[in-house]
Amino acid sequence: MPKIVIDPGHGGRDPGAVYEGRQEKDDVLALALAVGEILERNGVDVVYTRTTDVYNSPYEKAVIANNADADYFLSIHRNSSETPGTGTGIQTLVYRDDGIRAEMARNINSELTSLGFRDLGVEERPNLVVLRRTENPAVLVEVGFINNQEDNMLFDEQFNSVADAIADGVLETIDGEDPPADRVLYRVQVGSYQNSGNANAELQQLLRQGFPAFVLYEDGLYKVQVGAFEVLNNAVRMEQTLRRAGYNTFITT
């Protein structure tokens, strides 16, 4: 049974980011517990750095993870910008952008983007203690900006889907370490071109809009696609988001 340590950021005397009375430590604790419950139902052994409003230093959290002899470490946070309303989107931080941690980071981002969050990508943060001191593959996900009303609306109104998306990203990574031969991944296709320049132009437009897009060369065509989802419903949500943005789409595997 795989084991993951889930760390709700901040806690106790450290509220994290605060906006109009809303505290990061409360948002991420509720979300972490929801994600953990989903993972446990899917056969993952879950350990928490906290389950109540208490403070542990980043180093103490890393020690908890190391002592648990876990396979993965997931820290959940919310972002904030200097000026309210100017920052938006999700982002995942890693000590170094390689290996299974990089795969997990992108899987989580892809799933969250399917809900309508802007994808700010994966960023290396080697100075963060919870990423530097943990001995297992570690990621820190920033689930929207707490001082952005649209991000808060997504967080609140789609709370269960946000928890599902993070859990799905983790499960995709775990399954991907030893994928079955008949594993199916669903992708959303937005264009197919004979000319690579046309495909790249659409790719850059999608990336600027925050979609996890890529180009696949197949059957003599440059196919512009978004995401790679194990769960069909997540691909459907991404397709709906893309259609609202004006793209003609269909789901492929």
Positions annotated as catalytic residues are: 142
Q: Can you tell me the distance from the alpha carbon of 132 to that of 251, in angstroms, rounded to the nearest whole number?
A: 39
| Neighbour-count burial of 238, counting CB atoms closer than 10 A to its CB (0-12 exposed, 13-18 middle, 19+ buried) | buried
Measured CA distances, 71 to 3, 66, 83 (Å) = 5, 10, 38
Q: Can you tell me the distance from the alpha carbon of 60 to that of 141, in angstroms, rounded to the nearest whole number?
A: 19
Nearest to 72 by CA among 121, 151, 131, 17: 131
Strand 186-193 and strand 213-218: pairing?
unpaired
